[in-house]
Structure formats: C-alpha cells, structure tokens
Amino acid sequence: MSGLAENINVELIPTLPAVAVEAIRLLEGDPSNFESVADLLRNDQVLSGRILRYANAAFVGARQKITSIPRAISLLGFNTVRGLILSVSVFDCFSDAAQERLEGLVNFWLHAIGVAAASELLAEKLGFANVDEAYLAGLVHDIGKLICYQQMPDEFSEVCLELEKQGGYSTDAPLALDVERRKMGLDHTDVGRIAAEQWMFPASLVKALASHHQPVPEAVRPEKENLYQLVRFADVICVCHNIGSSYFFSTGAYDHQHYHFALENFMLLNGIEGGEVDDLVAEVVKRIEKMAVVMGFHDSETYQRLLSSANVSLGAMSVDLDQHNNELLAANRVLDAACGLGRSLKPGLSIAEALREILLAAQEAFGVERCLCLALDDGEAHFRGQIYSGGEFTEFSVPHQGNPVVKPEADMETEALQQLRRASLEFEQGTIMESGVAEIIAGSEFMAGFFLGDQKSHGRVERIIGELLVDFKDASPPVADLAGMRRNFELLSTAAANGIDRILMEKDLSRQTMAMAAEARKLEEHQRQLFNTHRLATVGRLAAGAAHEINNPLTIISLNLQIMQRLLIK
C-alpha cells in the first residue's frame, strides 16, 4: 500500500472557515453566549441568511418575522445554531469539488446529515455528555471520501462504480474499505484522520473519523473516547435504512449485508428494540428535511426518494432477516439433534440401538419420512443396517461384498450400496474425501454421509465404518438452501460417525480386554507348568548330588575291601 504522502497532498486539503473553527472550539467547553455566537456570524451574511431562513421555517405562525441573529439563536437554541454553522460550513467547503456529480453530492450530504442526527439522538439515549460533539462527528465521519474525490477523482469514481454495480445484500462481495485500498492505495478513514488532525479537531473527533468502521463487540459506554462507536452505530442505522448515499450514488445504495448483522448486534448489546430504531429513523428523516432547506438542496422529489429508498431497504432487510432466521432455525434443529446424539451414543450400546438413535436424530433434524443407517457389526464381517420409514424400523444386513440379505426398501438400499461402494473404491485408489459427504446427484433426493473411522485409534483396516442416507423428498420444511442443508447434514453425519466410532472402539477394547484376560490365564498356566518342571529338575539335581556324595566313600570302601580280600587269599 502506498503511503499517504504519495496519494494525498495535505496542503490541498481545504481549510475550514473561521466561524466553523470557532464553533468547534466552543465544543471543547469554552464559555459562550448568544452574543458571542452572533459576533461570529456578523460578517458572514450568507450563513446568517440561512440561519434566519431556518428559524422562520421552524417557527411558522410567529407574530412577527425573525430578522436578527440573536433572536434566531434565542428561539432555535445555541446547540441547533452551532450544528447549522458546522453543517453549512463544511458543505460549502467542499461543494465545488463535486459539481460534476451534483446529485451524488446531494445524496452524500443527506447521508452525512442523517448520521449526524442519528449520532445526536443516540448520544442522548445512551447518556453521552456532549451531544453536540456527537453531531459533528457524525456530520464529518466520511469527509475523507470528499478529499479522495477532490484529489483522486478517477480512482474514487472507480470505487463508486464498482460498489454501485455490486449492489446490496451481498455476502460474497468485498467490503467497501477493501475496494478503496485496492483502487486508491488507501481508504477514506486514513484521509479523514489526516484532515481532522490538520483542522485541529479534538482527539475524540480524530478517532471517530479514523475508526468509525471498526467492529464494536460490546455495549457503547457513554465516554468521550467511545464516540467512534456511537458514530459506527449511527452509520450502520443510516446505511441499513438507505438514508442518502455515502459514495456519491445517484440511484440505489451500497448496502452490504454485514451492516445488518452489525445493526442486530448493536441492538442486542445496547438493549434497543426494533420499534425504537424505527422511531429514531423517523426523527432522523424529519431533521434531514429541515436541514436540507437550509443547505439549499431540498425539494419534494428528493424527500420522497429518501422515504421510498428507506422503505425499500426495510422491506429487503425484512426478507433477508426472515431467510436468515429460517437458516438459524434449521441449524438449531440440527445442533439439538447432534447434541442429543452426543449424549445418547454411549459406549455399551449395541449397534442396532445406536443405529436407531441416529435415525431418530436425522428425522428430528430434517423432518424427513425416510432414512437409512449402516454400521460395521461387532465381528466386522458385515454391515448391520436399519431403515426408518413412516415411523417404523426395519433391520437388514449387508456383506462387505455382495447384495443385501433382505430388501425392505429397495431404492434406499440400492442408493446406499452404490454410494458405499463408490466411496470404498475412492479410498482404495487413494482419493480421500475431506468431508465424507456425498453430494445429491441430479434427479435424486438422497444425500449420503460416511462414517470415517480413526485408524490411529483402533487400527481397523476399513476407513468407512458406517453410512447415513437421508431421503429429502418429503422433508418438512422443504429444502430451499442446498448448501446450508449440506452443511447441516455434514454436522449431523459427523456427530453420528463420532458416536459409532466410540462404540466400536469400546467394543474393540472389550474384545482386547477379554483376549488379554484369556492370554493372562494361559500365561499363568504356563508359569505353573514351568514351576513344576523346575521343581522336578531341582529334585533331580539334589538326588544326583546326594548320589555323588554317597558314591565317593563307597568307592573307597569297595577298593579297600578288594585289597583286603586279595591279601587274605595269599
């Protein structure tokens, strides 16, 4: 990414009028009164005229026309007048930069004023001490875009064009900031921070311009350093309701789906109901209309387009949320069924009992009428199977090679065997399935998932230790999202596979334990026999030693007797 110095000329960033600078200074707590503000406006007849126009429009039916700034300030209030000063000053500062896209500029300022009004309303609701600062932060939060358009018009126009083409409600499209960085080498938050520092904005405003796209994972606390979170909340509300356009769009709006997720999170974290957001949006639209009169770009067509755009966005958001809720409900059903399997598939179950639990979980998760499950038998000579159909269970068995022993549901068994043999062949050929789930084949309503055993845990030659086959033809509710259904099916199939693997491992361990016990008994018998043999050998060695010891003196006696016999004979 190129540095700011290579993309943006800081010296070309416009300077704010003195009256706006003074208004910002007053935001920081300096004492002020009606006369001091009136003095600011005394030499700016254009700004004074707009404020008088706003005051007379706001107090239609007053006894006499409002002709003095102090009188207007008295009626409107200091905060309102200061907001008008800032809005008009900042708008006029950049109005010449985008004359070629005047309608887009109007939509941009509608959005900016909307975020400003929403920030002010949220600041009041959430307990922020300085609501005026919240208004200003919302008003100028996207000022970096104007500077980018002013100094890099071609690149920024490409950004707007790409975002306008991709439209709204897209989860796959890139985020706007990513598009900016790719096209311009930087994004508008970088430029906004530099401009705010040059204009000597308070630190909280600088942070708001630099960080208003950062996620907010907790409730917004009413502290000055959290002003950027408040602006983020207001921006999300205005984008979701199509309040103007932050990218100079003449028609339509860029409305990435992540804004709706962010809005849901903001509402949940801050305890704000949907009706409260609707009321806030209605008040924002009213304030935009009043401010647009002062800014000089209000007309009935623009106002009606704003309302129409917001209504269309709300309708589309409602449809999108309904779909999202349906997906969540389907996922929750599968998660509940998978958790139930984790509890019910305990070691000690027979294979037949485990298969029945899996089929009941599949029926609960997907609302299907028919499903089939296979698993290796204890002796691993064949697959034991069960079919659930219309509330009834039917058992059957399938050899590793060959046809089923019985065929209560020929179509399901045929599909299961075809998928099982195909998967086994893939493993033999070295093609390893990552998920163990077979896609639904065109013209078929079946989906198959294979239970893959952990070879390291039990040393079994077969990788496939079972299979789950579900018929989605009569599923309730019907399958609408194939990709989502495949993810859910994979989740349940994985839970079932883990349960079957644990049961088979427990049975393997039981068999190994029994075999070890039998071997221990044999070893004990061998040890007893060895001991007896060793004892007999020891007795033999003792007898041989004793005979040796006795034979020695006997031999001497025998020799002496023989000698004596010979002497006597002579």
Give SS3 for 477. coil
C-alpha dist (Å) from residue 12 to 5, 92, 272 = 12, 16, 42
Q: Is residue 131 part of a domain?
A: yes
Residue 51 has pLDDT above 80, yes or no: no
Q: What is the pLDDT of residue 456?
A: 55
Residue 345: how many CB atoms within 10 A of its CB? 21
Identify the residue with better confidence: 34 or 142. 142
Q: Domain tally for the chain?
A: 2
Break the chain down into helix, strand, coil percent, rounded to 5. 65, 5, 25
Q: Does residue 281 sit in the same domain as residue 419?
A: no
473, 492, 507 - which closes a domain: 507
Q: What is the pLDDT of residue 308?
A: 52
Q: Does residue 248 sit in the same domain as residue 396?
A: no
Q: Does residue 112 sit in the same domain as residue 23?
A: yes
Q: pLDDT tens digits, residue range 233-252?
A: 899 888 888 787 777 655 55
Q: Does residue 282 sit in the same domain as residue 377?
A: no
476, 507, 538 - which closes a domain: 507
* Distance between CA atoms of residues 367 and 361, nearest Å: 10
Contacts of 456 (CB under 8 A, 6+ apart): none
Strands 446-452 and 382-389: unpaired
Residue 402 has pLDDT above 70, yes or no: no
Q: Is residue 324 part of a domain?
A: no
Q: Which of 82-91, 361-370, 525-534 has the lowest mean pLDDT?
A: 82-91
Q: Does residue 339 sit in the same domain as residue 485?
A: yes
244, 277, 298 - which closes a domain: 298
Residue 32 has pLDDT above 70, yes or no: no
In this prediction, residue 256 has a pLDDT band, given cuts at 50, 70 and 90, of low
Give the DSSP H/E element, type plus range, for residue 382.
strand 382-389
Q: Does residue 160 sit in the same domain as residue 237?
A: yes
Q: What is the pLDDT of residue 319?
A: 53
Identify the residue with better confidence: 4 or 133. 133
Q: What is the pLDDT of residue 109?
A: 79
Q: Is residue 516 part of a domain?
A: no
Q: Does residue 276 sit in the same domain as residue 355?
A: no
Average pLDDT over residues 2-18: 61
Q: Is residue 411 part of a domain?
A: yes
**Which phi and psi (to 5°) does residue 243 adopt?**
-80, 100
Mean residue pLDDT of the chain comes to: 75
pTM for the model stands at: 0.54
Q: Does residue 482 sit in the same domain as residue 372?
A: yes
Q: Does residue 404 sit in the same domain as residue 461?
A: yes
Domain holding 497, by residue range, is: 333-507
* Distance between CA atoms of residues 244 and 272, nearest Å: 23
Query: CATH number, domain at 273?
Result: 1.10.3210.10
Q: Does residue 353 sit in the same domain as residue 470?
A: yes
Q: Which of 168-172, 428-432, 526-530 has the lowest mean pLDDT?
A: 168-172
Identify the residue with better confidence: 4 or 418. 418
Residue 192: how many CB atoms within 10 A of its CB? 27
Q: Does residue 238 sit in the same domain as residue 292?
A: yes
Q: Does residue 255 sit in the same domain as residue 351?
A: no
Q: Are 378 and 402 in contact (CB under 8 A)?
A: no
Query: CATH number, domain at 463?
Result: 3.30.450.40
Residue 439 has pLDDT above 80, yes or no: no
Residue 496: how many CB atoms within 10 A of its CB? 29
